[in-house]
Amino acid sequence: MAELLNIKDLHVEIEGKKILHGLNLKVNSGEVHAVMGRNGSGKSTFSNTLMGHPAYKITKGQFEFAGTVINNLKTNERAKLGLFLGFQYPLSIPGVTVANFLRQANKAIKGDSVSPKEFRKMLYEKMDDLEIDHAFATRYVNDGFSGGEKKRMEILQMAMLEPKLAILDEPDSGLDIDSLKLVAESINKFKKKNPDVSVLLITHYQRILDYIKPDKVHVFVDGNIVESGGPELALELEKKGYDWLTVVK
């Protein structure tokens, strides 16, 4: 399988504070990688850096995406190359409807402009998949949405924008078991329709991995990957916790 993401010796700091220390990671097309770690282990720094958040400064190392070094690309340019970040805490944009937002995003990323009618049809189909009421199309982005609604909205955006690599930052946090199942199923459905898409699933808990089978599992401790393995690693973590890895380090 073709290499999609290649991170070499990545060092990142925010406001002078070093967070990531020499991280290496390769993801091939079509693979699902789970990145697990405690709160504060640098997982969100990692995902924000991948997407080009201006507050995170790369001090050393580089990352290639689809054969291009993207260290210096702006966030929207990365999105156009096929990177997507599902936010842990999606932001509300009052006064901007979901439909308008997604239409502009769709146009920016895919370059083409489908007719409003076609677009609506596409949007409603994906909403049905996620059991999102069509009325959400005319609501303002994440404005007054519940936690679960926001998370499903992120997956809806992923499904609409069809990235090459979806970084999903804790898509399971704050969800009850029904919402979790729904979110996981829609990720699976999207993955099935688009087998070449890679997923970086960042999570705190093993729970979501009961529904989404990762090809690889990485464990994050203190700003670096300290252990990588197959799906069995997640189960081991579930049993033993993170402490044994901290000791190893």
Partner 1 sequence: MALELNNNEYQYGFHDSEENYAFKSGKGLTKDIVLSISKMKNEPQWMTEFRLKALEIFYKKPMPKWGDTKLLGEIDFENIFYYVKSTEKQGKNWEDVPKEIKNTFDRLGIPEAERKFLAGVSAQYESEVVYHSLREDLKKLGVIFLDMDTALREQPDIVKKYFATIIPSEDNKFAALNSAVWSGGSFIYVPPNTQVEIPLQAYFRINTENMGQFERTLIIADEGSSVHYIEGCTAPTYSSDSLHSAVVELIALKGAKIRYTTIQNWSKNVYNLVTKRAVAHEDAVVEWLDGNMGSKLTMKYPSIYLVGERAHGEVVSVALASGSDQHQDAGAKIVHVAPNTTSVIISKSISRNGGRASYRGLLKVHKGATNVKSSVKCDALMLDEHSRSDTYPTMEIDEKGVQIEHEATVSKIEDEKLFYLMSRGISEEQAKLMIVNGFMEVFVKELPMEYAVELNRLIELEMEGSIG
Residues that bind partner 1 (CB under 8 A): 48, 51-55, 74-76, 78-80, 84-85, 87, 90-91, 93-96, 101, 104-105, 108-109, 140, 157, 161
Q: Give the nearer residue to partner 1 in terms of CB position, either 81 or 226.
A: 81
Nearest distance in Å: CB 91, partner 1: 4
- Give strand pairing partners of 14: 17, 56
Nearest distance in Å: CB 74, partner 1: 7
User: Alpha-carbon distance 57 to 20, whole Å?
Assistant: 10
Q: Give the nearer residue to partner 1 in terms of CB position, either 85 or 183.
A: 85
Contacts of 141 (CB under 8 A, 6+ apart): 91, 92, 93, 96, 97, 98, 101, 153
Q: Give the nearer residue to partner 1 in terms of CB position, either 105 or 226.
A: 105
Q: How many Å from the N-terminal Cα to the C-terminal Cα in the chain?
A: 31
Nearest distance in Å: CB 94, partner 1: 5
Supply φ then ψ for residue 244, to 5 degrees: -60, -30
Task: Bin 131: left if φ > 0, else alpha if -120 < ψ < 50, else beta.
Answer: left
Contacts of 14 (CB under 8 A, 6+ apart): 45, 55, 56, 57
Q: Give the nearer residue to partner 1 in terms of CB position, either 7 or 85.
A: 85
Q: Give the nearer residue to partner 1 in terms of CB position, either 87 or 245.
A: 87
Q: Give the nearer residue to partner 1 in terms of CB position, either 78 or 216.
A: 78
Beta carbons of 49 and 70 less than 8 angstroms apart: no
Nearest distance in Å: CB 195, partner 1: 23
User: Alpha-carbon distance 30 to 194, whole Å?
Assistant: 8
Nearest distance in Å: CB 231, partner 1: 29
Nearest distance in Å: CB 48, partner 1: 8
